[in-house]
Amino acid sequence: MSFVNMSTKRRVVVAMVVCLIAFLYLTGRLVYIQIVKSEHYANEAYAQQTRSKSVEAKRGTIYDSTGAKILAQSISTNIVTAVPSNIEKDNRETVAQNIAQILGLEKDEVLSKLNKNSSSVTIATQVDQEKAKNLLTYISENEIKGISVDEDMLRVYPYGTLLSHVLGFVGTDNQGLSGIEAYYDDELSGNPGKIVASFDGSGRETPFTQEQYIAAEDGKDLVLTVDATVQSLVEKYLAKAVEENIAQYGSIVVMRPSTGEVLAMANYPTYDPNDPFTPNDEETKQIWDTLDSTQKRDYLNQMWRNKAISDSQEPGSTFKVITATAALEENVVNLDDKLFYCSGYYSVGGWDIKCWRYYNPHGSESLRDGIMNSCNPVFMQVSARMGISKFMKYIHAFNLDSKTGIDLPGETTGIMHNEANMSDVDLATSSFGQTIQITTLQTAVNYSAIANGGYLVQPYIVKEIKNNDGNYDEQISSKVVKQIMSEQTASQIMSALVDTVNIGTAKPGQIRDYQVAGKTATGENGRGENLKYLAGYVGVAPASNPEIVVVMNLFDPKGPSGHGGASLCGPVVGSIIDETLKYMDVQPDYAVNETESNEVVVPNFVGMTYSQAKELAQNSGFGINTSSEFSEDTVITNQVPKYGAALTPGSNIMTYKEEDQIQKTNVPDVRNMSVAVATATFRNLGLNVRVEGSGYVLTQDVSAGEQIDMGSIVTIKCIDDLNGLP
């Protein structure tokens, strides 16, 4: 009996011990959960019982340099989301059908999203206000649960293709993918907010609970150095030049040499950042769906590429100022000593390297002559006097083997020879801009140093960063990297560049009201069957006190006007300088202005009788044309050109009566014609002509084949000898 009792007691003790251990374990576990891990499990519970919707921050606005023109901004739009678990399964097909109809979507696509096993799905983004209003009405009237319409942000570029390669664009998440949008993404993007709501275990929103709203912090605004007006005229001229000369692409950079501010940066062909994933040429659009993902990606990357900073090419003769600077700084030669001779070629390392004018050698020349004539043998002889070490010293001084440091993504460095492996032939070819590569922007920086008295400045594209309250967060100022030449050397190079425009190879860049300093280039990229030319021109003006440097390059031109930088790019750069300086209200160089042709202001004939108009026209030196039969008493209601235009005497004014239609005519191609023949050709078609220069037509400001009003003015730029250009 006592044995049984002892056994029972043991079992009781064991049971009690087990219970005690279990109690202690549970107590310890409870303490661990309630105290040690309380914050962790509170967060877990909060996450299970709440869901948050992101409230997107408004991305900062990008302005041009005036602060008046908006180049990129975010506008309110709508996003439609759904919580599938809140929508009854039997009703999903009907809901999907109605949503699709309201938003213009495919029903099956919407239904697929509503059937997803997900806490939240996006039905549509960038929904306009009208569709959003209609959807909200449908949701309200039919008491649909689980569908939300919330405010969203859409990035827009009001000027379309303007400055697209510099601005870049954003992705569907409003994150910058290229250009300024990518480089300054942290400043522009801001910080998103959120809306937090409570849900039960089935994923349904808990009634009688308040949503928590955490406001978004909007992004900062940017003010660029780029002037939209200057950018617009640059893009206009560049597009015309690329298309007329059938070039692969073209780039132009306009810089303020004293500060490094980029006033314009353009590439053509361009694209629309409002629709950045659509090809920018019709041929590719036709085959787009047949391309694989790699081909599409490669095409788009090329389309988005800012070639002015991302593509380096052999620059040709615009590079010669680097060699000239080095020679003058090292006292290897004086600017005007006749120390060199051009026999049409120069022999180095067993190679006979030609001058562009090998068929008519330049003969005895100074360094100034070499710059003016763009003579390769002069620069090969100059570099031979310096040697490799001194030449490369100035390659490094101009930072040509480095990036300029501009605040844009994708900049590449120049490609130079390795000094340790350089040969005499490498030195000779480098001296006139071959077998090395630099970007269009680097050329602009080089010439800015010459124009500003010898200082290398860092180019920049953003000048102000503003908080979303409109106050300045940061103002970016000019940065001088270093002095790379004396003021005397810079002045000597500038004087040679002025002569190059006035009497040398860069004459096509002359303009009426300002003295331009300039240099031409015809670079050779590749060799043999792969040879492609780079036509280039640099203009600096006004030469006495430079306000702008304009660099233009056309890659692989295949048009009838050839591939020379003087003829293809010189007139374009001249026109850009002329219009930009007048827009900037820069006072003309009156000494140049004295060469202005004798033009007369067109009178106002509107409201006069035909008889009165004929008499006034005769007294002013003009003739009158009509599109139909006029009596002496017919009242003139329109005229082309308009009152206030300036024309040379002998020009004809086209006049109309009330019922007449404006007459049109196709513009002929007069390039390479003599001035007399070109003028007669235009006048036979009822067009007026403004002649700049003399000799033979180099360019015309209205492209051949365009249809314009009869009586309109076409400006032609002429030069004495078309064959005397590199």
* DSSP string for 259-319: T-BEEEEEEES---TTSTTS-SSHHHHHHGGGS-HHHHHHHHHHHH--HHHH--B--GGGG
The whole-number pLDDT of residue 95 equals 87
* Backbone angle region of 686, left / alpha / beta, with phi > 0 → left and psi within -120 to 50 → alpha: left
Give the rounded percent of residues in the chain with a pLDDT score beyond 90. 65
Lowest-pLDDT range of 422-426, 568-572, 670-674: 670-674
| Sequence spans of domains, the chain | 2-36, 52-224, 310-593, 600-724
- Do 553 and 313 touch, CB atoms closer than 8 A? yes
The stretch 153-165 carries a mean pLDDT of: 94
- Orientation angle between helical segments 92-103 and 107-114, nearest 10 degrees: 130
CATH number of 600-724: 3.30.10.20
pLDDT digits (tens, 9 = 90+) for 347-390: 999 999 999 999 999 999 999 999 999 999 999 999 999 999 99
C-beta neighbour count of 570 within 10 angstroms: 33
**Beta-bridge mates of residue 182:** none
Q: Is the pLDDT of residue 540 over 60?
A: yes
Dihedral sign for Cα 455, 460, 463, 467, please: negative
The whole-number pLDDT of residue 595 equals 45
The whole-number pLDDT of residue 196 equals 63
The stretch 48-70 carries a mean pLDDT of: 80
Average pLDDT of the chain to the nearest whole number: 89
Q: Is the pLDDT of residue 520 over 90?
A: yes
Sorting pLDDT into bands at 50, 70 and 90, what band is 546?
Answer: very high
- Do 83 and 203 touch, CB atoms closer than 8 A? yes
Structure tokens at 377: 């043998």
The whole-number pLDDT of residue 76 equals 81
Q: CA 59 to CA 73: how far, in whole Å?
A: 7
The stretch 324-344 carries a mean pLDDT of: 95
- Orientation angle between helical segments 424-431 and 376-386, nearest 10 degrees: 130
Q: Is the pLDDT of residue 470 over 90?
A: no
Domains 52-224 and 600-724 share a fold: no
pLDDT digits (tens, 9 = 90+) for 171-197: 988 899 999 999 999 999 988 776 666
504 DSSP assignment: S
Q: Taking the CA of residue 702 as centre, how many other CA atoms within 13 Å lie in the half-sphere pointing to its CB?
A: 18
Domain 310-593 CATH superfamily? DD-peptidase/beta-lactamase superfamily (3.40.710.10)
The answer regarding whether domain 52-224 maps to CATH 3.40.190.10 reads no
Sorting pLDDT into bands at 50, 70 and 90, what band is 275?
Answer: very high
Q: What DSSP assignment string belongs to 328-392?
A: HHTTS--TT---EEESSEEEETTEEEEPTTTTS--EEE-HHHHHHHT-HHHHHHHHHHH-HHHHH
pLDDT digits (tens, 9 = 90+) for 301-310: 999 999 999 9
Q: Is the pLDDT of residue 204 over 60?
A: no
Q: Is the pLDDT of residue 52 over 80?
A: no
The whole-number pLDDT of residue 369 equals 96
Alpha-carbon radius of gyration of the chain: 36
Structure tokens at 699: 């360019």
Q: Is the pLDDT of residue 31 over 50?
A: yes
Q: Is the pLDDT of residue 1 over 50?
A: no
- Do 219 and 59 touch, CB atoms closer than 8 A? yes
- Do 713 and 645 touch, CB atoms closer than 8 A? yes
Phi and psi at 474, nearest 5°, equal -160, 135
Q: Which residues have C-beta within 8 Å of that of residue 281, sequence separation ≥ 6?
A: 269
**Among candidate residues 268, 237, 270, the one with its CA nearest the CA of residue 250:** 268
pLDDT digits (tens, 9 = 90+) for 683-700: 999 999 988 888 899 889
